[in-house]
Copies of this chain bind each other. A is one copy, B any other.
Amino acid sequence: MEGGLAQKIKLSTIADALGVSTATVSLALRDSPLVADATRDRIKDYARAIGYIYNRRAASLRTSRSGIVGVVVHDIMNPFFAEILRSIESELDRSGQTFILSNHYDQLEKQRTFIDTLLQLGADGVIMSPAIGTPREDIEMMEENGLPVVLIARQVEGALVPVFRGDDAYGIGLATNHLISLGHRRIAMIGGTDQTSTGRDRYRGYVLAMEKAGLEVKPDWRVPGPRTKQGGFEATGQFLALKDKPTAAVCWNDLVAIGLMNGIARAGLVPGVDISVTGYDDLEEAAIATPALTTVWNGQREVGRRAARALLDRLGGNHEPVTPDLIRPELHVRQSTGRPSQR
């Protein structure tokens, strides 16, 4: 029953002990129907008894299948990605694939280093939220080297690979229209960047909704940059000092919204009463924030699930046409939004 490091146990150890060939052992351990039941059981029992450990590197060298899938995101400390990862994980788990994770922190070089590692390990595929500035050529290089790619959250212009993300322009429109319908006329947009497709789409959606309602869009009312709680918190001063005092803020995401609400509360105002705030993503946290956050459900679970399935499909040899499947967001109204107050 002991593992023991004394003599490395390999297929041939078992073959020799049982008087069969390594081919038979190999097939038996993988439950091949080519092996007689009795032989198979005898082999598996013995292997277990002496603590045999399958050497995947050797197998993978021979089969050129590694059972490894790479996952690359901006930052796992961001709960948005953490929720996506969780659902990727549960899909991958049941397929027996191991996944390797890396944060690129939007540094192209870090992303490239990791992609290199994946190629060297012979990874079977990769799911990635590409770093800002990822060129189409990087994606093509991976595909050419036999590493199938599935993108999440962000697009790479011109890359012909599946992308799973929410319909950002539509989603931010839901939040903006909600505020407009409550009577808000001066609405700011806090956070986000124009450097990503997501950032551009959300800003566009906000502008579109404002214009459709015949409302003025002041460039000042956009405070770009913040993407974290800390960022939202720190943007409070700038927001409260805006000319014409907006009565509401459409935030880049839930983190920024929660940070901003904290900042607003510190300034002695009541978020949801004095100032309305919307988030984006509907993180688990949104529902228990104070006040509970009105936000846009962005389908993280769905994004992760579909991306993982799409990749597994490709690994299974399925070469379906690429459907650029936009997930339709939903507005979840809670307590952080209300009619505009006089201030």
Contacts and interface: CB of A to CB of B under 8 A. Distances in A.
Interface of A: 2-5, 51, 53-58, 60-61, 66, 76-77, 79, 82-83, 85-86, 89, 98-101, 103, 116-117, 119-122, 141, 144-146, 229-230, 233, 259, 262, 265-266, 284-285, 288-290
A229 B285 contact: yes
Contacts of A119: 53
Contact of A66 (B57, B76, B99, B122): B57
B77 A82 contact: yes
A61 to B, nearest CB: 5
Given A66-B57, A122-B55, A288-B259, A117 B98 contact: yes
A265 B77 CA distance: 27
A3 B144 contact: yes
B57 A61 contact: yes
Contacts of A289: 262
Given A3-B145, A262-B288, A121 B230 contact: no
B120 A56 contact: yes
A258 B3 CA distance: 46
B60 A57 contact: yes
A66 B121 CA distance: 9
Nearest to A6: B144
A330 B119 CA distance: 44
Given A56-B120, A120-B56, A2 B144 contact: yes
Contacts of A53: 116, 119-120, 145
Contacts of A265: 290
The 6 tightest CB contacts between A and B, nearest first, are: A56-B120, A77-B82, A3-B144, A262-B290, A233-B288, A101-B101
A261 B57 CA distance: 51
Contacts of A288: 229-230, 233, 259, 262
B120 A54 contact: yes
Nearest to A140: B3
A298 to B, nearest CB: 16
A57 to B, nearest CB: 5
Contacts of A85: 76
Given A57-B66, A82-B82, A265-B290, 13 more contacts: A3-B144, A4-B144, A5-B146, A53-B119, A54-B120, A55-B120, A57-B122, A100-B100, A230-B284, A230-B288, A259-B288, A262-B288, A266-B290
Residue of A57, A89, A121, A289 ringed by the most chain B CB atoms within 10 A: A57
A197 to B, nearest CB: 25
30 contacts: A2-B144, A3-B141, A5-B144, A53-B120, A54-B120, A55-B61, A56-B117, A56-B120, A56-B121, A56-B122, A57-B57, A57-B61, A57-B66, A58-B61, A76-B76, A76-B85, A77-B82, A77-B83, A82-B82, A89-B103, A98-B117, A98-B121, A99-B100, A100-B100, A229-B285, A233-B288, A259-B288, A262-B289, A262-B290, A290-B290
